[in-house]
Structure 1
Amino acid sequence: MDIAALSMVMSQANVQQNAGIAVMKMAMDTGKENATQMTDMMKNVAVDTSVGQNLDTWA
């Protein structure tokens, strides 16, 4: 393999690696955003403290 072909192959591999890293960063950012939204949503949920205090049974 000559130097020019080797250079092109290495350059293409570098581009593919950089693209993969960019996609992974986007996925991580999306995951962080979803986690933040879910945490905020859970903070805003009204909690009824009387739920679960009594157990009705029938024999």
Structure 2
Amino acid sequence: MDIGALSIIMSQSRVQESAGISVMKMAMDTGKETAAQTTEMIKNVAIETNRGQHLDTRA
């Protein structure tokens, strides 16, 4: 294998690796945003203190 072909192969490998890392970072950022939104939504849910106090045993 000549040096030119080896150089091209190595360059393509680096580009593929960089693209994979970029996609992974985007997925991680999306996951963080979703987690933050879910946490905020849970904090804003109104809590009803009367729920679950009584059990209806008649069927």
For structure 1, list consecutive stretches of 5 or more residues without a partner in the other structure. Answer: none
Give the alignment's TM-score, normalised by structure 2: 0.96
Aligned partner of 2:53 in structure 1 is 53
TM-score by length of 1: 0.96
Structure 1 runs (4+) deviating above 2 angstroms are: none
C-alpha separation in 2, matches of 1:58 and 1:45 = 30
1:6-45 residue CA offsets vs partner (Å, 9 max, x unmatched):
0000000000000000000000000000000000001000
1:34 and 1:58 map into 2 onto residues whose CA distance is 42
Computed over aligned residues only, the root mean square deviation of the Cα atoms, in angstroms, reads 0.9
**Identical counterparts, % of pairs:** 68
Instruction: Please give the residue correspondences for 1:1-59 in structure 2 after superposition, counting only pairs within 5 Å.
Output: 1-58=1-58
